[in-house]
Structure 1
Amino acid sequence: MAAATIETCHVACCANRTPNVVSWSRRGTIAFGTCNSVALYDPQERKVVALLSGHTNRVNAVQWVHREDYGPERHLVSAGSDHRLIVWEAQNETFIQSVECKGHTGPVCAVDAIYMDNSQILVVSSASDSTVRLWLSECLHTLSFGSGFMMDVSLARLPGSRVPILACGGDDSRVHLYVQSHGQVTMCLQGHEDWVRGVEWASIGGELLLASCSQDCLIRVWRLCAKSGTDARPEDDHTVIKMKEDVFEVKEKGEDVSSVFALSLETVLAGHENWVYGVHWQPPFYRGDELQQPLSLLSASMDKTMILWAPEEGSGVWVEQVRVGEVGGNTLGFYGCQMSVDGSMIVAHAFNGALHLWCKDQDRKGEWRPGVVISGHFNAVQDLSWDPEGEFILSVGADQTTRLFTPWRKHDSQQATWHEISRPQIHGYDMQCLATVGRFQFVSGADEKVLRVFQAPRNFVENFANISGTSKEQLLTSSDSANLPEGASTPALGLSNKAVFQGDLVQKTCEDEKQFNSVSDQYQESYFHPLNMTEPPPEDHLLQNTLWPEVQKLYGHGFEMFCLASDSARTVVASACKASKAEHASILLWSTSTWRQLQTLPYHTLTVTQMAFSPDAQHLLAVSRDRTWSLWRRHPTTPDNPAEPQFSLYAHTEKDTSIHSRIIWSCDWSPDGKYFVTSSRDKKVIVWGSLEDAADPGLPPEIKPRSSILDVGDSATAVAFCPVLCSDNRHLILFKWKDWSLVYRGGYVLQITRNRRNPQSSQQSYYR
């Protein structure tokens, strides 16, 4: 029997909103936590190469275990709000769970790890239970901080020694150091005046450098080196200013001789204007004996900037080399930063989960430009809809955004990669549903009583043509293009996207040349600037310059919107809202030509959870929290009323006769329109019989299950027919249940899949 396989062609996701959740390996792979998984992202190929699923709650910290010989990493450590740590090991080009550490009683917020002599991995973790724990498969030691919290931890080895040293930065404005020898050595580094948010060691030329960053907007660099008798200077030598040193002695296990180390403050870096959340060292990078990348330190701050610091060649004074970041927008700043091993790319992750990538311009020395990087929703993805031509996909989420993804083929690559190229809607309420209407128009619903209709502006259509390689003439006629606005902007404190026309751009340019005349002029709307894109835009442009203008508001529902559907002819939109009574559970039908309400369809007594029009647009299927489904038939149009369709109830189930015993979450039609499928919290997926089974076409048919009832073992929350029949004319059904999905993985990840025929595979379930 011929079968079909499913291949992942794109995963859209973002980093979780925690400081220590991104780590860059020396082999070039960026690991970051996204929802309950760890994503492995290749910035060169611009795609997620793997998703590591093992945590049962949000992943808060990710760290590659770096090797001393600068070879490719084979281990990765992750920790999450499920109070667990997982060590992942590379085997046969995949990562598997190697070690699981349990013991914390609160969410783990930071991790680090180093290799020991016997290739064992020493892991350190900090959690909200006010403890820091050290692990070698099992917990070796626990450091308790009473009512305090350690925000970040970092491990290294003392210079010329195998003894590990631990640095912890906490809410007491101090950096705590611990050395495990015959007697535990502890030290506190003072100087910061607010919470220490990040700490990181770097081994440089037989010495250790420790960078610490704080909410006092400052970065402190500390130097730790082995001390010998030759380090002492004559007492009358006043030519050198020496910083105060903290000296401590360490005796290794099995050794009679002690080693003496000195720790001093190297420098204080002041350049950020807000809390500094992350620091990351770039050690010197050599190719042979030639220095390719000198020592540098990268920092990320809530002031929306990253700064690259480095000591000057002559004086050794640390100065700012590069500053990059986001200008404007209504978001907070950066949580953390990372740098590629060769120093050619730097990445930051922001409070809204977005990754920001900058690449060193090889043609213009010293300049950096924004790079194309993965993006996605930072909260639950609630709904999605394909473009009628199948060239892009729209999605909405609880992060209050609507996003548009499309494939992009770079000129030097044959492989197309999917990217977000527009953020048509940035809203003040969590988004719940959407439906596409025509090629460049959609309707969306949120946690409000209003439906909003959006139309693509001309600037988006032109940029979409550039990125997708489609002819502009094929997308819009000249008359259509002339009537479209150039873009959209959001008024201050407003929820509606305001259209911006060509004349508005000229007027705005003139206004920008004038100074503010009043206080109110200082609080202007976020304004649109036209883009000429040949590649996907960076995050700051997505936030401000890719909005779609709102062309209509639809009123009529009494509570927050819940689901939407549009017919294949794109002439009718059906909508439903949250309802606890029958009077609010009615379905409303809207005309897409006039945006006038056509009809009210009352039947259900609780919230209608999903609706679907049949492929021929002649039937509307609805499922509900009241455990029933209803089927509505479209009446033929008449010469007296040719443009306004009317629907009437055709078939339905009752509570006492319905097979489903819990809320019905989802429904869909087979591509030939003969069958439909429902999925429910009662763990059942049911394919219902053909409409052609009715003995009398004029009478309501008795629709029964067409196949055996499939029990998926957990709440089935989404279901869909594949639009293409398999080679033996069988239907393929994809369904999603509580903890696993073929279409969505977790709450925050949008996964697009491709259907491919594969005669060698027979792993899918089919219904004839």
Structure 2
Amino acid sequence: MGFNGGEMTAEVERVFVGAGCNRIVNNVSWGACDLLSFGTQNAVAIFCPKTAQIVTTLPGHNAYVNCTQWLPNSKFAFKAKNFERHYLLSGDADGTILLWEFSLVDNKWRNVLQLPEKHKKGVTCISAIMVSDSDAMFASSSSDGVVSVWEIVLPSISGGECKLSCLDTIFVGRKPMVALSLVELPGQNGHLALAMGGLDNKIHIYSGERIGKFVHACELKGHTDWIRSLDFSLPLHENNETYTLLVSSSQDKGIRIWKMASLQANSTTEENTLSSYIKGPIFLSGSFSYQISLESLLIGHEDWVYSVEWQPPQSSSDQGIECYQPQSILSASMDKTMMIWQPEKTSGIWMNMVTVGELSHCALGFYSGSWSPSGSSILAHGYGGSFHHWRNVGTDFDDWKPQKVPSGHFASVSDISWARDGEYLLSVSHDQTSRVFTAWCGEGGEAWHEIARPQVHGHDINCVTVIRGNGNHRFVSGADEKVARVFEATLSFLNTLSHANPHKSGQAYDLPSNVQILGANMSALGLSQKPIYVQAPAEPKERNNNEGVDTLETIPEAVPVALTEAPIEEQLAWHTLWPESHKLYGHGNELFSLCSDYEGKLVASSCKAQSASVADIWLWEIGSWKAVGRLHSHTLTVTQLEFSHDNAYLLSVSRDRNFSIFEIKHTETEEIDHGLVIRQEAHKRIIWACSWNPFAHQFATGSRDKTVKIWELENGSSVKLLTTLPTFKSSVTALSWLGIDRQKNHGLLAIGMESGLIEVWSIISNGESENSGVNASLFVRFDPYMCHVSSVHRLRWRSAEKSGDSSKVQLASCGDDHCVRIFQVVV
């Protein structure tokens, strides 16, 4: 046996990233480069609205990402037409703020710097403005009751240094600020206003200069609940008057527009008269004084208004120097709607001109609304980690149509499983959903999208296995409820799958012709999913009477249909459920691990265990779903199970640091005969992962002790250690072995770690002979920008013969960072 330390260079491409948005306000920012940023667990994800794909994730934070802010954002897109580099700020729950640089020339990202002074608690908001082409200012607020104001000078050359200076630190007291907006005061350069709002229901205006401190100028009262969002417009000029508008929103369901007008220098205003008092407070900044008055009150939302934003200014010249500020505001609310407000042409009264939103019962409202730089698209992110994108496709009049968006889990992704022929990937998560991702062939080529959400459940789902063998597509999932559930694909899903890949549908999909179930409905209490049959009479529903009513009693009927293009959130959340066909009772605790054999005859399951009596592995017969065996060996939780590729053995690894191998035999009377072959202590810490060599009775185990060991089962009775790979820098949490060449017994072992990093090792062994040995070498180490930012939970190779080109193989992974990832590796 031997180890070859030479690192081979192999190509790895990112094929797909699926992730949901952290459920927090101020998390999403739309950049002038027409990319969107958002936090997904500890990663900053970047997505392209044109392709509806996540293009990368940025590692660097050690806590939940709370807010992101582009420099320049969509508001300053008119200034950024010739920018070669764009910058992004991100703040997390530890108080850390990072600055990233994105180069448009080579599409590369780099972590430029971390702000030297951390907030003591989580960052709640970042607001930034471009003062010039190379100069920006931003303010950050935190739960620690501090608002910091920074100036940043951007480098003139690629890879240059950013100069950062803290202008001021403002202590706001025990009621922290959660909304900020910065603006250059109209009429004079270098003077700024900072609006902040939070838990004391007031808007506080601070004025300051680019070189000095900020002083408290005035307070604006009117809102009766927490201030949630603030946004200044660019300066406006009208009737020889220069002013800027501030829009504010609150948990009192109202939106207010405030006018900040500059008065003539040294003008003798009636400072104490009644008229000036009615108009609002006056403050002095430099040689100008400014008066703030309430311009308008917008009432229309029925719940908290989390976000308001002015439509980005549009340039009126090719150089982008001159611009005008459209009189248009976007608001997003927990009442599940976004509204566009504009002043009526005749009266000038602000009216709600456009309303878009969600009607599905499972949406719980919107956390934010964002404009695209052109003002032709709007995007919201919702409670379920989901995005909702509308584009104005009308020419003579507004016509807002929903668009495709990236989607994914909004909590830790616990397990993944490829379909038996690799045509789709199924994932389950602690967000209590299972999701199906597949490559959709469209005009622009092949792109991966979520096409179904088979299970929407009341418990965190820990494990899943797709059942092999012929017949309809089925899977078993296990959750925090001691019961495994069996789900079966619907006719509408099978038809959608054939639309997604029309050139494969004939031979690759063994579509059963006798599927009678069209879709599934969720019961009122959400405890099970009931089938909708193909032949069921369509009862006319009197929907109009209850339209808009959203209670448990009036849950809408699902309308399962074959999808002809990648679905949007509303279709996924409600119309793509699979019916539950069986429940498997027997375990005493929460389900932890599942696997099925390669013939589609058996499923093995384990649950969380603190004692030997509960740590049994159960065997279930597929079809009858009877328990046909209980395997005793371990004393603590069995963390992973896997059948050998010839189905002769079942391998289990456990928290008790042992692995066990059980022999599985099918007797002539179709009964299951099983027996423990060997149990062995293999590592010094918990064993998290195991995987069989597809070509031999060899297997790998990976542990918290940061080692991976390769073993061989000899003569069906004893186990020999072939080699131990060099110690890794982090705990090994996931393994997957792919066979490459049967003659040479050559394979690739994918290794996932607690740090989120992934490596692939080349394993060549000279067979099951007396002098058998293993030659192991590092094949490729994945770029950290491609990898997870937290623990990898599962790795799965796609069946090689199904992924097209034999020189390329695909590896799927899932992790604690809410992400499902697919990589292409050139072998």
Common fold: TM-score over 0.5:
yes
CA gap of 1:505–1:87, structure 2 versus 1, over 3 A, is farther
Q: Select the residue among 269, 276, 282 that pairs with 1:247.
A: 282
Partner Cα distance (2:122, 2:178) in 1: 12
| Aligned match of 2:690 | 667
Using the TM superposition, give the Cα deviation of residue 46 of structure 1 relative to its aligned residue in structure 2, in angstroms: 2.2
Contact 2:740 2:746 in 1 (8 A): no
Question: Identity, % of aligned pairs?
Answer: 37
C-alpha distance 437-40 of structure 1, shift in aligned 2 (>3 A): same
Cα 1:61/1:522, change in 2 over 3 Å? closer
The answer to whether the aligner puts 1:135 opposite 2:150 as a matched pair is: yes
- Aligned to 1:184, the other structure's residue is in SS state strand
After superposition, where does 1:396-545 map in structure 2 within 5 Å?
Answer: 396-410=428-442, 412-414=443-445, 416-438=446-468, 440-469=473-502, 480-504=512-536, 506-507=538-539, 509-510=540-541, 512=543, 523-545=553-575
Q: What SS does the aligned partner of 2:147 have?
A: strand
Cα 1:359–1:514 change in 2 (3 A) is closer
**Which residue matches 2:795?**
none
Q: Which residue of 1 aligns with 2:112?
A: 98
Q: Is the 8 A contact 2:89 2:99 kept in 1?
A: yes
Residue 710, structure 1, aligned to residue 726, structure 2? yes
Deviations 1:556-604 (A, max 9, x none): 1111100000111121100001111111111111111211111111111
**Structure 1 pair 230–409 and aligned structure 2 pair: CA distance change class (3 A):** farther
Pick one of 297, 309, 331 that aligns with 1:268: 297
Q: Assess if the C-alpha contact under 8 Å between 1:293 and 1:343 holds in 2.
A: no
Aligned partner letter, 1:224: M
Number of corresponding residues: 728
Q: Does structure 1 retain, via aligned residues, the 8 Å contact 2:516–2:534?
A: no
Q: 1:632 aligns with which of 659, 662, 665?
A: 662
**Post-superposition offset of 1:399:** 0.6
Q: In 2, are the aligned partners of 1:156 and 1:201 still within 8 Å (CA)?
A: yes
How far did residue 94 of structure 1 move?
2.0
Partner of 1:679: 702
- In the aligned structure 2, how far is the partner of 1:726 from the partner of 1:713? 31
Alpha-carbon offset, residue 312 of structure 1 = 2.7
* Cα root mean square deviation, aligned: 3.0
Amino acid corresponding to residue 225 of structure 1 in structure 2: A
Partners of 1:243 and 1:265 within 8 A in 2 = no
Give 1:413's aligned amino acid: G
Could you tell me how far apart the structure 1 residues matched to 2:220 and 2:727 are? 60
Q: TM-score, normalised by structure 1?
A: 0.89
Q: Partner of 1:226 in structure 2? A: 262
Matching of residues 88-487 of structure 1 within 5 Å: 88-91=100-103, 92-101=106-115, 102-116=117-131, 119-136=134-151, 137-160=164-187, 161-181=189-209, 184-205=215-236, 207-228=243-264, 244-251=279-286, 258-286=287-315, 288=317, 294-362=326-394, 365-410=397-442, 412-414=443-445, 416-438=446-468, 440-469=473-502, 480-487=512-519
SS in 1 for 2:573: helix
Distance 1:669 1:364 in 2: 63
Measured in 2, the distance between the counterparts of 1:284 and 1:242 equals 32
**1:81 alignment counterpart:** 93
In structure 1, runs of 5+ residues without a counterpart are 235-239, 252-257, 759-768
Over 3 Å counting, the alpha-carbon distance change for 1:141 and 1:294 in structure 2 is: closer
SS at match of 1:570: coil
* Runs (5+) with no aligned partner, structure 2: 1-5, 152-163, 238-242, 759-786, 791-815
- Report the alpha carbon displacement of residue 95 of structure 1 after superposing the two structures with TM: 2.5
- Write the deviation string for residues 35-63 of structure 1: whole angstroms up to 9, x where unpaired: 11111111112222221111100000100
Query: How far apart are 1:113 and its partner, in Å?
Result: 2.1
Q: How far off its partner does 1:754 sit?
A: 3.2
Measure, in 2, the Cα distance between the counterparts of 1:513 and 1:224: 45
Letter in structure 1 aligned against 2:297: V
Q: CA deviation at 1:472?
A: 6.1
Change (3 A) 1:621 1:200: same
Contact 2:520–2:532 (CA<8 Å) still a contact in 1? yes
Letter in 2 for 1:448: E
Match of 1:254 in 2: none
Contact 2:17 2:55 in 1 (8 A): no
Q: 1:651 aligns with which of 668, 678, 696?
A: 678
CA distance in 2, matches of 1:298, 1:243: 28
- Once residues 400 and 752 of structure 1 are traced to their aligned partners in structure 2, the CA distance between those partners, rounded to angstroms, is 19
In structure 1, how many angstroms separate the alpha carbons of the residues matched to 2:612 and 2:18? Answer: 38
What is the distance in 1 between the residues matched to 2:265 and 2:130? 31
- Please report how far the alpha carbon of residue 470 of structure 1 lies from its aligned counterpart in structure 2 after TM superposition: 5.3
Please give the alpha-carbon distance, in whole angstroms, between the structure 1 residues aligned to 2:248 and 2:545: 43
Report the residue type matching 2:441 in the other structure.
R
Q: Is the 8 A contact 1:725 1:731 kept in 2?
A: yes
Deviates more, 1:726-735 or 1:347-356: 726-735
Specify whether residues 475 and 714 from structure 1 end up closer, same or farther in structure 2 by C-alpha distance, changes over 3 A only: closer
State the AA in 2 paired with 1:741.
L
State the match for 1:721 in structure 2: 737
1:547 corresponds to 2:563: no
Within 1, Cα distance between the matches of 2:25 and 2:544? Answer: 39
User: Which residue matches 1:766?
Assistant: none
**Equivalence for 1:29:** 35
Deviation track 1:43-84 (CA, whole Å, cap 9, x = no partner) reads: 112222221111100000100122572435611111001211
- For residues 788 and 219 of structure 2, the distance between their equivalents in structure 1, rounded to whole angstroms, comes to 47
Partners of 2:283 and 2:649 in 1: how far apart? 80
Distance 1:326 1:665, change over 3 A: same
Deviation of 1:293 (Å): 9.2
Q: Name the CA distance, whole Å, in 2 between partners of 1:448 and 1:429.
A: 7
Deviates more, 1:483-492 or 1:191-200: 483-492
Q: CA deviation at 1:614?
A: 1.2
For the structure 1 residues 676 and 3, does the alpha-carbon distance in structure 2 shift closer, same or farther, using more than 3 Å as the test? farther
Matches of 1:75 and 1:343, distance apart in 2 = 21
Shift of residue 306, structure 1, vs aligned partner: 0.3
Q: 2:753 aligns with which of 734, 737, 757?
A: 737
What amino acid maps onto 1:219 in structure 2? I
Residues 679 and 685 in structure 1, CA contact (< 8 A), matched pair in contact too: yes
Q: State the 1:726 CA deviation.
A: 11
* Alignment TM-score, normalising by the size of structure 2: 0.83
CA distance in 1, matches of 2:12, 2:550: 55
The verdict on how the C-alpha distance between 1:98 and 1:464 changes in structure 2, with shifts beyond 3 A counting, is: same
CA offsets, 1:8-33, max 9 Å, x none?
Answer: 10000111111000000122100111
CA distance in 2, matches of 1:672, 1:449: 35
Structure 2: distance between partners of 1:725 and 1:31: 42
In 2, the alpha carbon distance for the partners of 1:297 and 1:220 equals 11
| Correspondent of 2:823 among 737, 754, 768 | 754
Shift of 1:434: 0.5
Change (3 A) 1:755 1:706: farther
Residue of 79, 89, 99 corresponding to 1:69: 79
Distance 1:457 1:283 in 2: 45
Matched letter for residue 281 of structure 2: D
Q: Any conservation in 2 of the 1:491–1:524 contact (CA below 8 Å)? A: no
